[in-house]
Structure 1
Amino acid sequence: MGFYIKRYLAAFQERKHWTLMALVPVILYLIVAALRVDSFAVTQDFTYSGDLRIAATNSPVNTLTLETLLADPDQLFLDTFALSQLQQRLELQDSAGILPTGQELRRTAHGSMRLASDSGSRLRLTYEGSNARLGEAMVDFYGERLAQRIEDGAARHPASEAAAPYSFQADGGLSVVGMTTPWSAERLPRVALILVLSLLAVLLLIGILELSDPSFKSERQIARYLDLPVLGSMPDATRLAHHLKES
C-alpha cells in the first residue's frame, strides 16, 4: 500500500500543474452565470394629480398623505389584510406550489417591492427579484390595492378640504425587464462545490494515468519481472542534469 501511495505522490509531483485545470469549470460557470438573466424588474407606472389621501388600515377614519406612504411603503406592502388577499390570489395560480407563503411572502414583499415617485406627478411600483411571474402578480395586486386605498381615502377626506380634486390612474401596462448580475455572494457555495469536484476529477485522472502506465517504477518491480537480482540502477537523468546545472 505504501508503494502505491509513494507512486501516486510522485506522479502528482510530476503533474501538479494539472490542478490548474480545476479552475476551468469554475471560470466557465462564473462567465455563464454573469451572462444569464437571473433577475427581473417588473414595473407599473401611475400618473396622479391633486392631493392624494390614502386610507389608513389601522383606523376606519384616518388617512395618510402620499409623502408619508412614500417614506414608509411597508404600510402598503406589509398590511396584514393585503398579504392575506395576496396569498389567496397566488394560491389560485397554477404554480402556487413554488410561490412564497406565510412569513416567506412577507419577507418577499418587504425585500422585493418598491414604491417611488419619479416626478411630481408620477408614481412607480416596482418588483425586483428572480421570479417574473410572481413579480407580475405582486405588482398587479399592489397597484389595485393602492388605487382602492386612494379611493377609500378620498371618501374619508371630503373634497372641500382637499387642495384640488385628485386623479390617479395607471400609465401603460406592466413592464418586465430581465437583468444579469455580474456577481452575487449566493454563488459562492456553488463555486466552492464545482472547484472541489473539479479538483477531485483532476486527482482521479492523475491516479488513473499513473496506474495505466506500464513502465517500471522501482527496482523491485524490475527484479520481479526479470526474476534476477538488481545490483544497481542509474538515477533519473533529468534530475541529474538539472542538479549539475545548478551546481
Structure 2
Amino acid sequence: MSYLVKRYTHGLKRYNSWFLLAFLMPGLYLLSAAITPDRHEVWQDVRLPLETPFTSASFDTVAEVVDAQAIFFRDNFDVNRYFNLTEADVGQLEPDHYRNVTAAVSNDITLSYDRGIARIRYLGKDAEMGKSLVDYYARRLVRKAREGISMSGMHIARERHPERMGAIETKPLRALWRPDRFLPLLFLFIASVLAVMALIAALEWNDAALKSERQIARYVNLPVLGSLPDLNKVSQALGDPPEGKSPHP
C-alpha cells in the first residue's frame, strides 16, 4: 500500500503542471455564461398625470402607488385573469408555474415614475413571463386610472389621458459573474481537479519505467544488495555547496 501511495505521489509531482487543466472547465463555464443572456429587462411606459385618481381601496394617487408599489403588485392579483382561465379551469394550473409567477411579482417587477410617465419594469430570467407580467400590470394601471377619472368627474386633456406608450420593450442582459454562479463554479472546479488526479493516476500506472528496487529485482531476477541515495540531497543535508559552485565567494 505504501508503495502505491509513493508511486502516486511521484506521479503528482511529475505531472503537477497538469493541474492547470482544472481551470479549463470553470473558465469555459464563465465564458459561456458571459456570452449567453441570463437576465432580461422588460418594460412598458404608461402616460399617467400626477393628479390621476385611482379606483382602489389601497391607493388614491399615483404617488401612493409608487410609494407602496409592492402592495400594488400583490393586491388583488387575479390569477384567473392573468392566466386567462375560468374559475373552473384554475385547478389545471401547474403549481410550479403559479409559484414562479407569484415569486416574480414579489421580487422581479417594479414601478417608477418620472414627469408624467410611469414605467413598469421586469428584471428576471424569464423574458416571456416578464412580457406577460408587464402587459398585465400596464393594462391594470391604465384601467384603474381611467376608472378613477371617470368616477371622480375630473377633467384631463385628451393628450394627457392615461394610456400605454408604444410597445413593450425587452433587453437581454449578460454578465461574466453573478453570485448565483459560485456553487456551480465550485462544483466544476472540484470535478475538474478530481478528473486531473484520475488522469495522472492512469498515466502513472501506464508508465512502464521501473519505480522501485522491488521492481528492478523482479525484472532482472536478481536480489538487490544495496542502493545509492540521492547524493545531491545528502550533500545539502551536510551543508556542502551544490556541485559546480565554490564554497567561497
Q: TM-score range by the shorter chain?
A: 0.7 to 0.9
After superposition, the C-alpha distances for 1:41-84 in whole angstroms (9 at most, x for unaligned) are: 111112234621112145xxxx5100110111123210134345
**Offset at 1:86?**
2.2
For the structure 1 residues 233 and 199, does the alpha-carbon distance in structure 2 shift closer, same or farther, using more than 3 Å as the test? Answer: same
Gaps of 5+ in 1: none
Question: What is residue 67 of structure 1 aligned with on the other side?
Answer: 63
> Post-superposition shift, 1:111?
1.0
Q: Which residue of 1 aligns with 2:152?
A: 157
Change (3 A) 1:187 1:242: farther
**Superposition RMSD in Å:** 2.8
- In structure 2, the partner of 1:141 is 136
Match of 2:165 in 1: 171
Instruction: For 1:225 and 1:45, locate their aligned partners in 2 and report how far apart those are by CA, in whole Å.
Output: 83
- Aligned with 1:174: secondary structure? strand
Deviation at 1:20, TM superposition (A): 2.6
Contact 1:70 1:115 in 2 (8 A): yes
2:215 to 214, 218, 221: 221
Map of 1:181 onto structure 2: 175
Q: 1:201 deviation in Å?
A: 0.8
**Paired position in structure 2 for 1:100:** 97
Q: Whose strand proportion is higher, 1 or 2?
A: 1
Displacement of 1:235 in angstroms is: 4.1
Identity %: 27
Q: Secondary structure at the residue paired with 2:27?
A: helix
Please say if residues 87 and 101 of structure 1, whose CA atoms lie closer than 8 Å, have aligned partners that are also in contact. Answer: no
Q: Is residue 73–residue 106 contact of structure 2 (8 Å, CA) maintained in 1?
A: yes
Structure 2 segments unaligned to the other structure (5+ residues): none
Contact kept, 8 Å, 1:82 with 1:145, in 2: the verdict is no
Cα distance, 1:176 vs structure 2: 0.9
Distance between the aligned counterparts of 1:81 and 1:29, measured in 2?
38
Give the drift of 1:205. Answer: 0.8
Letter in 2 for 1:202: V
Match of residue 198 from structure 1: 192
Q: Distance in 1 between matches of 2:230 and 2:181?
A: 46
1:131 aligns with 2:126: yes
1:78 to 54, 74, 77: 74
The residue identity in structure 1 corresponding to 2:33 is A
1:140 to 1:238, Cα distance in 2 relative to 1, 3 A? farther
Q: Is the 8 A contact 1:51 1:163 kept in 2?
A: no
How high is the TM-score relative to the length of structure 2? 0.82
Contact 2:23/2:189 (8 A) holds in 1: yes
Partner letter of residue 85 of structure 1? R
Determine the structure 2 residue equivalent to 1:53.
Answer: 53
Would you say the 8 A contact 1:51–1:164 is kept in 2?
A: no
- Do 1:113 and 1:128's aligned partners in 2 also have CA atoms closer than 8 Å? yes
Instruction: Kindly provide the CA deviation profile for residues 155-174 of structure 1, in whole angstroms up to 9, marking residues without a partner as x.
Output: 33232xx6877611111101
Deviation larger for 136-145 or 8-17? 8-17
- Cα distance in 2 for residues equivalent to 1:226 and 1:115: 84
How many correspondences in the alignment?
234
CA contact (8 A) 2:8 2:201 kept: yes
The one-letter amino acid paired with 1:68 is E
**Matched position secondary structure for 1:109:** helix
Q: For 2:235 and 2:174, how far apart are their aligned partners in 1?
A: 54
